[in-house]
Amino acid sequence: MDWFGRAKINFTHGPSPLSLKKKDGSTTDLAKLAKESVPTCQLNPLLFNGHVQTMWTAVKEHGPPIYYRRKLFESNIKAYAGTFAVDFAVQPHQDADETLPPRTTYFDDKTFSEIGSDDTRPMLIALHGLSGGSHEIYLRHAIAPLITGDGNWDVCVVNARGCANSKLTSAVLFNAMATWDARQVINWAKETFPNRPLFAVGFSLGANIITNYVGEEGVNCPLKGAIAVSNPFNLEVSNKGLQRTFLGKEIYSRVMGTNMKKLIADHKEEILKYTNLDYEEIQNTTYLYEFDRAVHTRTWGWPTENAYYRDASSSDAVTGIRVPFLAISALDDPIALGEAIPFGEFEVNPYTVLCTTSLGGHLSWFEIGGGRWHAKPICNFLNKLASEIDLGAITPNEKIPTKSLQFKSEFQPTRRKMRLITDEA
C-alpha cells in the first residue's frame, strides 16, 4: 500500500546492464546511473490514484514559462511531403504572435540562418503527446530546469503536424509510428551542431515515436541517450484496456477522440483540400479508436485500427535500442496501461532501463505544491549522461547476448508489415 502519496519505485533491467565509463576514469553501469537519477517519489496524497492524478491535469495551472521561437521545416522525404513546426526554447522575449501558443513567435530568416554553432552544449529534442505541442505543461515542467538557472542545455520541440497551431500543408498527417519528422530534425541538429551531444525525450504518443525511432536506428542512432515517459508501448493492449472500463471508454477514449476531432476541425479546409478523408465521418466519431479507424486506415492503408495499433506499437522496438535509454511509467496510468509495458524486453536489452512508480497517472506525477515529479528523473538522468559519462567510449553492438539457438535466425524488432510504396523504393 502507498501511504500519503509515497509511491513505490521499481527498476527493470537485464542482469548485465550497459557498462559506462565516467569522465573521471571510473566506471558505472546504466542501471546504477538510472537509480542514482531517480529520487523518492512523494506525490500529493490528495491525488491518491491514477485517475485522480490524470484528471487533475484538467486544472490549468500555469506551469513554468518557456519562451520559444518557431521554425517551419520542409520535409526532405518526398513520400512525407509537407511542413512541420519546430519550437526552440529561447531567452524571454516580448514578441507576440496571436496565431501561435503563448510566448511563441517565429524566427526571422536571418537569425535562423546563423543558428549553427561549434559549441559542445548538450541539446535535447522533445516530442509531445497526442494532439499536444511545445506549450504542454508536463513538457515545460520537464525542460525548465535544463534551460533556466544553471541549466546549460539547448532544447527544441518537434510539433506533430497540425499541432500547436501549426498548419497542414499536405495530406501527410502524424501517427504513432511517424518517426520521419523527428529523424529529420535530429539529423539536422547533428549537422548544424556537430560537437553537441544530442538527446531526446518523448511523452505518451511522443514516447512511442521516440522509442520506435531509436529502435529503428539501432547502432546508427546519432543520439547519446533517450527517455520515454508514459509510453503506451503496446497500443492494442492499451486500447482494449480503455474499452474494458467505463472510465477508460467514456472519459479517456472519448476525451482523446474529441481532441483529435477538434484538431481535424481546426484544419477542415486543408483536410478537404489535401486528403480523401471523409470529414463528416470523422466528426461523427466518438472514441479515439473510432477516430483512428476513420483516419489512419484511410490514410495509410491499415485494414483496421487494430492492425495500425499492432504495427505502430513500440514494444518490440525496445530490443533494437543501442543507446542509453530510460523509460518512466506509472503502473496506475489509466491510459498507457501497466499491462502494456514490455517488461521482458527491458530485461534482455542491456541498453535499456525501465523505472516504474506505483502512483502517478498519465503524464501527471503531481507533487504537493503543484510540482511534477517526472521532471526530476528526466533532468537528473540527462545531466548525469551529459556531464559525468564519457559518451565517446560507448560502442554500440549490433547483437546483444542471447541464449544458444537451435536454428540460425534473426529477429528484426522494427520490421513493419506495412510499407509505403514510394518513388525511392
The tens digit of pLDDT for each residue in 144-173 reads: 999 998 889 999 999 999 999 999 999 999
Any domain includes 101: yes
pLDDT band per the 50, 70, 90 thresholds, residue 231 = very high
Q: Which residues contact 26 (CB under 8 A, 6 or more apart)?
A: none
Catalytic member of 204, 230, 253, 364: 204
Q: Is 353 helix (H, G, I), strand (E, B) or coil?
A: strand
Q: Is 349 helix (H, G, I), strand (E, B) or coil?
A: coil
Range of the structural domain that residue 199 is part of: 6-234+313-393
What was the pLDDT predicted at 425? 44
Per residue in 345-399, pLDDT (tens digit) is 999 999 999 999 999 999 999 999 989 999 999 999 999 999 999 999 998 988 8
404 belongs to the catalytic site: no
What was the pLDDT predicted at 420? 64
362 belongs to the catalytic site: yes
pLDDT band per the 50, 70, 90 thresholds, residue 1 = low
CATH code where residue 109 lies: 3.40.50.1820
Any domain includes 420: no
Structurally, the chain folds into a number of domains equal to: 1
Any domain includes 252: no
What was the pLDDT predicted at 423? 58
What was the pLDDT predicted at 411? 81
Pairing of strands 198-203, 123-127: parallel
Total Cβ atoms within 10 A of residue 366: 25
pLDDT of 419 strictly over 90:
no
Total Cβ atoms within 10 A of residue 242: 24
Catalytic member of 37, 131, 333, 364: 333
What was the pLDDT predicted at 338? 98
Total Cβ atoms within 10 A of residue 280: 8
Cell numbers found for residue 4: 500519503
Per residue in 250-284, pLDDT (tens digit) is 999 999 999 999 999 999 999 999 999 999 999 99
What's the chain's average pLDDT? 95
333 belongs to the catalytic site: yes
Catalytic member of 51, 135, 296, 362: 362
Per residue in 75-103, pLDDT (tens digit) is 999 999 999 999 999 999 999 899 999 99
Q: Is the dihedral of CA 102, 107, 111, 116 positive or negative?
A: positive
pLDDT of 43 strictly over 80:
yes
Any domain includes 85: yes
Per residue in 108-121, pLDDT (tens digit) is 999 999 999 999 99
pTM (predicted TM-score): 0.96
CA 375, 263, 162 angle in degrees (round to 5)? 75
Considering the chain, what percentage of its residues have pLDDT values greater than 90?
89
